[in-house]
Structure 1
Amino acid sequence: MPSFIQTLTQVIREKTLRFRKLHLRIIFIFSTLLFLVLLAFLYSINNIISNSTNQDIQKNLDNGQQLFKFINDESSLRLTQTASILASDFAFREAIATEDLNTMVSALFNHRVRFNASAMFLVNTENRLIADTVGLAQVKAQFPFPDLLITAENEGAATAIVLLDGHLYQMVVVPVLAPTPIGWLVSGFVIDDKFANNLKSLTGLEVSLLTRRLANKKWELRATTLPVNLSKNLANAMSGIVTDQGQKTIQIQLADNDYLSRVPVLAARPDGMVIAAVLQRSLQQALAPLHFLQKTLLILSLLSFAVALLASTWIARGITNPIRKLGVLAQRIEGGDYSQTVSIDSDDEIGQLASAVNHMSVGIADRESKIVELANMDILTKLPNRTLFLDRLGQAIQAAHRSGPQFSVMVMDLDRFKEVNDILGHHVGDLLLQEVAKRLQTILTRGSDTLARLGGDEFAILLIATDEEGAQIVANKLLKTFDESILLEGQEIIINSSLGITYYPEHGGDVNTLMSNADLAMYAAKRNNAGSVVYDASLAWQTQAHLSLMAELRNAIANNELTIYYQPKLDLATGKISDAEALIRWIHPVRGLVPPDNFIPFAEHTGFIVIITQWVVENVTRQQQEWRKLGIMLNISINISARDLLVPRLPEFFVKMLKTYDVPPQCLMLEITESSMMANPQGALSIMNELRDMGLSLSVDDFGTGYSSLAYLKKLPVSELKIDRSFVMHMENDGDDVIIVRSTIELAHNMGLTVVAEGVENQVTCDMLKAMGCDYLQGYFISRPVMAQNLLSFIEKYSK
């Protein structure tokens, strides 16, 4: 449609030029002439104002630079005089002669306070610091500016601006005579932002001081009066500017502000350090008083121009009626109204144009109708999309409000669809969605029902005139359709789904409430592996409770509510306890003991699990340091989540903790679940390799519950495989679990891995695992998780 409007506008412009040629010529000539006169006038006035302002700024910079030099010279003279007072003090010279260090230091500090100096130094004739007020003499350092001593020896005193410990100082060196030099007294006053602001108050200029090495063109800002947002750009703006150009003024741009500047060099040190001052005046601020005049002239010029245009427009009245009608029609078409036509009783070009516009309007209406149809359809599955589904749901609510028939809303989500995408690729994922759509359509055959794809792997169903019993029957059919596996490109895929159900009006009287509650029911079904769940008000309460719990979790670390329990592991080869797993516990001040299953999944979802993991690692390594001091060597396992493996700095954090608490990396075993590794296989493998290269041991946790392939498993830099408790707990009564566990142990040993079985709760299971050759056992039969102070006594008792 935009191309049609552009074409129509062009045609109207051509017809307008033909019928209003003389009118346009008058308007154009008169307006152009007036515009050029006003432009020349404004240009001249602006030049006069700019030149006058530049001259004022130049004069201001001249005066400011001279005053800056005068202040600098006067400051040097004053510093020399004050330093000479102490240098000539008899008691001070006697302290130097007798090497009375306490008296010398006391004199330096008193003199610094008395004359408000920033630093005082006493240097012997061998250029070595005897005493100072900044601590350099304690390491018997050389005086960093020997050239000042040479100058003072030749000229009786020396003064210079120097850079010391990242700060600029104005330093004065005077000899201590008795009567020949027995040392050198150095007095330094720091040159900082306060000093720069004092200069600004005297000169009226922005004052900045910068340094750079001759071999390095990069300037570093040391003191400035500029605002922070401008000062951070000054060093970069100075790059390439030649310093000490006398009276030459240069223009420096900082952010959106232009500054006329002088850049005198204050010092060029023998070590290649250049110290320069930048004196600046903002061009915008200087022009500010003159902007009112410019605005007044501009407003008067615009008013004159507007009057001219109004006069020209008044002349053209009565000529544009046919064109105006076509313009109104074009605006209606642009707004989407194609019902109107224009009627012009004329057989000329305007009449032909009107007829063409009418035909175009009909054509655009047809094409837009097709576009709207496509906008309401999901391209991949050819199902209605979210927009159309919500519209039909709104219509169903209105119809039910009038006539009263009940209807149901279902939201369906495919389980583990992301893993299909990650492992088999997005192409197979798309084919899977198309096949799911076909299967669902075979169930929903009524014309009144709506099946839609909301996005991703989420579908929605609207069942009109269906009671609760009928909706449950349909839900069971929808779930049952996934019992049969799906074959895509030679790959057999088993997929399940979770279904949330709401009824109108019991579970909501508007679109948002019904959809939101259906989502809650669907997530409850997914969380509990229930297939389908009908919405219940308690689901909303549980969600609110979880949100409240998550908010309190953020304060749990700061309030010391988290603690670590340790569950021992039995080494079947030695019969001793040499390892344990660190398990976090939350002792809530109101709720009491909060199970990990109630907060760890939400912490992983929000990313707060990274903070929790870091807390666990630091506390475990600190605890190991305490045990090692007692001569107790224990290997501790720590759980690592999928979120942790997405943090590139995870290895760096472990290096820091191990170094801080002096714990060998071999003392830590990191347990990583299959699902964590499969969330981002390449990224996880890279982080795991870094951790392995540091000397940390890695373990595959909950093996058998994920979807990792053996081809991927053999690439992992792991040394241990941990069999999930779901296979171990029922071994004595379930032959299938026995087969799975025995096969897993043999597989792990063939791959050179140590095997840990968790969930051991009785002697029978213990004996079976020992007969299978399992390496380590963990479970309530060995020990429940205990606090750190109880672990050592348990190990000692168990050994006996």
Structure 2
Amino acid sequence: MRRFGVGTKFVSMSIAILLVIQSASYLITQRNIDDIVRQQVKEELITVDANWWALMEQRAASLRQSALVLATDFGFRDAVLSGDTETIRSVLDNSSGRIGAAFAALLTVDYKLQASSTDAFTEAGLVGFFQQTASRLAAGGDGYTLIDFDEKLLVTVMVPLNAPVQVGWVMMAFPVTREQVEELVKVSRADLAIIGSTGGVAVSSLPSSTYPALLNLKDGGNAILNGREYVARKSGDRSHSAGLDVYMLRPIDVFVEPFSRVEQALLALAAIAMVLFTLGSFILARRITVPLRKLSKASDQLSAGDYSMALPALRHRDEIGDLSRAFNHMRTSIQSQQDEIRALAFWDRLTGLPNRIQFRDLVTLAINSNTQESGTKQPVTIVMLNLDRFKFVNNVLGYAFGDQLLIAVAERLVSIPGIVRENIARVGGDEFAILLEGVDSNGALPFANLVAQAFEAPMKMQDQTVDISAGIGIASWPSDAGDVDRLLSRAVIAMYVAKNKSTGIQVYNAALDSSSPETLSMLSELRNAVENNELRVYLQPKLHIASGTVSSAEALVRWQHPVRGLVPPMQFIPFAEQTGYIRQMTLWMFEEVARNMQLLNSAGGPLCVSVNLSTRDLLDQDFPDKLEDLMRKHGVATDSFCLEITESAIMDDPDRAEATLNRLSQRGFKLSIDDFGTGYSSLAYLKRLPVNELKIDKSFVMGMDGDESDSLIVKSTIELAHNLGKTVVAEGVENQVITDKLRALSCDEAQGYHLSRPLPLEQFTAWRLKFSETAAAQTATTFQI
């Protein structure tokens, strides 16, 4: 029998030793690769989890913005305040349909359903579930949640409805579809499964054949789905999932595949090592272990969330090099996604300006940095502006044109000298804000004037010329507010007062704010003023110039407060308009005058009483019927009243206001345009509306005795009105000189302090009777002469 030689044994022994070493190395490497892969999958699932909630946050932010647009829509708020359920449901249905939402709903302040765009909430059990969702949204800090409802997964948001105090909530829900889930799959190369609160799979990127196995998922465990091994991770964010279990899954074989090629290379190197022996083994070991150590160290940086440092550059043209480049590509992809999310969170994509969130941070930083160690606080001021008639631009010229207009507005604001670009933000649809440091409200007025002047020149875009203006509000810290949120809120209040009063620029003061401590008690007391008989009717007579008689008067309201005394109208009328209580006060005024009409007519003959109407009155479609019922109740003819309207009262909703005025005219009420000559479109309304009378603004009448231009304006207005068959009233008549000039110009009536100040109703009757007797005596004396 032939024996093996030493060389053979040596070779055999060497091969055996080498095989043992290679086998051990192979097993160790395989174990390390398996550990690395599993750890890497778990770490990346954390990133996938963050990406998923970031995607949901983007969806929720878009939906929340739509809800905010709906909540700030004036017509919608007016419908809510007036209880117009059909209009509310129509607006909700249109809004949800326009943005593809599953539903939109209006809730009361205590989360009870008031109206919705769907009838799915009619059953009692569903209403309870609906209220629980609303309560969770109101209590949550981020304002959205995921729920499974009616076999659908919905992103649900809720925003408060303020008018100006909170009167309810607007809830909207957007369906989460499989396509949206697959977006996450494309970006993160991971799968997602959401287990509903009822125990079924709400949505998943995996095939439906895997659903039974998905129901048995455990956090951190493995699952075999369609023959592939997956690592599952349960989302750690439970604040938005509303009882749902959100799992991120990643197949292991995707990550094992690159390492499998490495394993094949190891086997090839083992064959070479049998020939090259120790030298080959050493080279192979270094070729594998050194790059893996570098990648392992780099993976530790990625797992710690540091994506800024580039991975080590490996020049290998094999699987290890591919793995390094894949790691680097993954790092740059995640970094770019984070940058995009950060941009969406803090910048307005249309104008490139900071958005509301970043602007609030800027204001907070400014307040903190301007508080010196000595305790002296340097003022921080916000200039807030809202474009006028921007809604009409969108409606007439389209939203694309509106977007270009917003960009042009941003460019004009940036070009204003003295204002830093970084301190200008777009905080809403057509709202912009400017941060000024080191100046108070008075110091900010020159900047506000520069802003107003920037809009004086028309904007020319796409062969269109657009005249644009804005209501500008100013509020300053610490004089107007002690923190950033109150400062922003009060700047908005001043801005809307500027828009409503057409003042252009308005500096905040507590009297403007119906929610300030100084006015809360007055507002609550005003609600009881009618029931407690604290309101008083004052009448200011109007002189019929041709006959020298008083045949008409203007009714004015005064508040005789039991503690405050006689409260001036400017201290409570604006709050009544803001809260909507002005409608009750208007009806009270009509009824009080109608109730005393017989007494008023008994002193000097029939009297026509003028009453001012507010915006709320004109937008109330039932207002004409209410007035007619009052006239019928007290047996008073409708032509005993003249209804005075201003251009600002019509501008909020011209179509509805015009419809209301036409109905009032058809019922026999006289109509008068108050403050005629001060509005830019008064002539247009004079042509369209069934007006009987023009009331020339006192700013022209009071200047007649010293300014010939004012006299010419008054003369032209009188001639225009008479040519159109309308009468003219001149208010602000302060002396006999003006009265004589008006008589020479054939003005019909005069009103002012020269004739009489406003008088209480009882005193007016006695005054008118005495005036009539005096006028009759003077006439008799004239005839005797």
Q: TM-score, normalised by structure 1?
A: 0.52
- Taking a change above 3 Å as real, the CA distance of residues 394 and 559 of structure 1, as seen in their structure-2 partners, is same
Aligned equivalents of 1:514, 1:568: Cα separation in 2 = 45
Asked whether the equivalents of residues 473 and 506 of structure 2 are also in contact (C-alpha less than 8 Å), the reply is: yes
Is residue 2:232 matched to residue 1:327?
yes
* Structure 1 CA distance for aligned equivalents of residues 411 and 483 of structure 2: 29
Task: Check the 8 A contact 2:475/2:487 in 1, yes or no.
Answer: no
- Secondary structure of 2:688 counterpart: coil
2:469 corresponds, among 495, 499, 502, to: 495
Query: Is 1:556 matched up with 2:532?
Result: no
Deviates more, 1:659-668 or 1:620-629: 620-629
Amino acid aligned to 1:363? S
Deviates more, 1:619-628 or 1:714-723: 619-628
Q: How far, CA to CA, are the matches of 1:735 and 1:335 in structure 2?
A: 82
Displacement, 1:461?
2.2
Deviation (angstroms), 1:354 = 10
Distance change in 2, residues 1:344/1:396 (3 Å):
farther
1:410 to 373, 376, 382: 382
Task: Name 1:679's counterpart in structure 2.
Answer: 652
Provide the secondary structure at the position in 1 that maps to 2:454.
coil
* Superimposed CA distance per residue, residues 741-771 of structure 1 (whole angstroms, 9 cap, x where no aligned partner): 1121111112211111111110011111111
Q: Structure 1 CA distance, aligned partners of 2:392 and 2:627?
A: 33
Alignment-derived partner of residue 281 in structure 1: none
The CA deviation string for residues 679-707 of structure 1, in whole angstroms up to 9 with x for no partner, is: 22111111111111111111111112223
CA distance in 2, matches of 1:438, 1:678: 28
Number of residues of Structure 1 aligned to a counterpart in Structure 2 = 491
Mapped partners of 1:534, 1:669: distance in 2: 35
Q: What corresponds to 1:85 in structure 2?
A: none
Note closer, same or farther for the CA distance 1:346–1:398 as it changes in structure 2 (3 Å cut). farther
Structure 2 residue identity aligned to 1:412: M
Instruction: Please give the alpha-carbon distance, in whole angstroms, between the structure 1 residues aligned to 2:579 and 2:602.
Output: 38
| Cα separation, 2, equivalents of 1:469 and 1:435 | 27
Q: For 2:248 and 2:715, how far apart are their aligned partners in 1?
A: 71
One-letter code aligned to 2:469: I
Letter in 2 for 1:710: L
Q: How far off its partner does 1:606 sit? A: 1.4
- 1:570-612 Cα offsets, whole Å, 9 max, x none, are 1122221111111111111111111112211221121100000
Distance in 2 separating the partners of 1:446 and 1:735? 42
Which one of the candidate residues 655, 658, 672 is aligned to 2:628?
655
Give the corresponding residue for 2:307.
none
2: CA distance, partners of 1:663 / 1:313: 79
Question: In the alignment, does 2:355 pair up with 1:385?
Answer: yes
1:638 to 601, 611, 624: 611
For residue 455 of structure 1, give the secondary structure of its aligned residue in structure 2: coil
| Contact map agreement 2:233 2:249 (CA 8 A) in 1 | no
Whole-angstrom distance in 1 between the partners of 2:234 and 2:707: 80
What are the within-5 Å matches in structure 2 for residues 304-323 of structure 1?
none
- Paired position in structure 1 for 2:346: 376
Of 482, 505, 509 in structure 1, the residue corresponding to residue 454 of structure 2 is 482
The alignment status of 1:746 with 2:684, answered yes or no, reads no
Residue 708 of structure 1 aligns with which residue? Answer: 681
Matching residue's letter, 2:661 = M
Quote the offset at 1:618 in angstroms.
1.0
CA distance in 2, matches of 1:597, 1:318: 72
CA drift of 1:507 comes to: 6.7
**Kept after mapping to 1: 8 A contact 2:381/2:444:** no
Is the 8 Å Cα contact of residues 387 and 468 (structure 2) preserved in structure 1?
A: no
d(CA) in 2 for partners of 1:470 and 1:553? 32
1:366 and 2:366 are equivalent in the alignment? no
CA distance in 2, matches of 1:666, 1:629: 17
Deviations 1:200-251 (A, max 9, x none): xxxxxxxxxxxxxxxxxxxxxxxxxxxxxxxxxxxxxxxxxxxxxxxxxxxx
Give, in angstroms, the shift of residue 773 of structure 1. 1.5
What's the Cα RMSD here?
4.9
Question: In the TM superposition, what is the alpha-carbon distance from 1:342 to its structure 2 partner?
Answer: 10
Q: 1:422 to 1:552 in 2, by over 3 A?
A: farther
Map Cα deviations across residues 534-575 of structure 1 (whole Å, 9 max, x no partner). Answer: 778998899432332222111110110001111111112222
Q: Name the CA shift for 1:506/1:772 in 2 (closer, same or farther; >3 Å).
A: closer
Distance, in Å, in 1 between the alignment partners of 2:357 and 2:236 is 27
Alpha-carbon separation, structure 1, partners of 2:570 and 2:606: 30
Equivalent in 692, 708, 731 of residue 704 of structure 2: 731
Distance 1:443 1:335 in 2: 52
- Which structure: larger Rg? 1
CA distance in 2, matches of 1:444, 1:685: 43
From 772, 782, 787, give the equivalent of 2:755. Answer: 782
Question: Structure 1 CA distance, aligned partners of 2:542 and 2:658?
Answer: 27
Residues in 2 aligned to 1:423 and 1:573: alpha-carbon distance in whole angstroms? 49
Per the TM alignment, residue 632 of structure 1 is displaced from its structure 2 partner at its CA by 3.9
Gaps of 5+ in 1: 1-11, 13-253, 257-307
Structure 2 unaligned regions, length at least 5: 1-40, 42-122, 126-211, 238-245, 264-318, 777-785
Q: Which amino acid aligns with 2:583?
A: V
Identity in percent? 42
Q: Relative to structure 1, is the Cα distance of residues 732 and 558 closer, same or farther in structure 2, using a 3 angstrom cutoff? A: same
* Structure 1 position 566 matched with structure 2 position 554: no
Paired letter, 1:327: A
Post-superposition offset of 1:395? 4.3
C-alpha distance 473-335 of structure 1, shift in aligned 2 (>3 A): farther
**In structure 2, the residue corresponding to 1:383 is in which secondary structure?**
coil
- 1:502-581 maps to which residues of 2 (within 5 A)? 502-503=476-477, 510-516=483-489, 518-519=491-492, 543-581=516-554
Q: Is the 8 A contact 2:698 2:730 kept in 1?
A: yes
Q: How many Å separate the matches in 1 of 2:414 and 2:396?
A: 25
Give 3-state SS (helix, strand or coil) of 1:643's partner.
Answer: helix
Distance in 2 between the 1:728 and 1:537 partners?
Answer: 33
Distance 1:552 1:525 in 2: 26
1:596-611 equivalences in 2 (<5 Å): 596-611=569-584
Counterpart selection for 2:669 from 677, 696, 702 = 696
Q: After TM superposition, give the deviation of residue 313 of structure 1 in Å.
A: 9.9
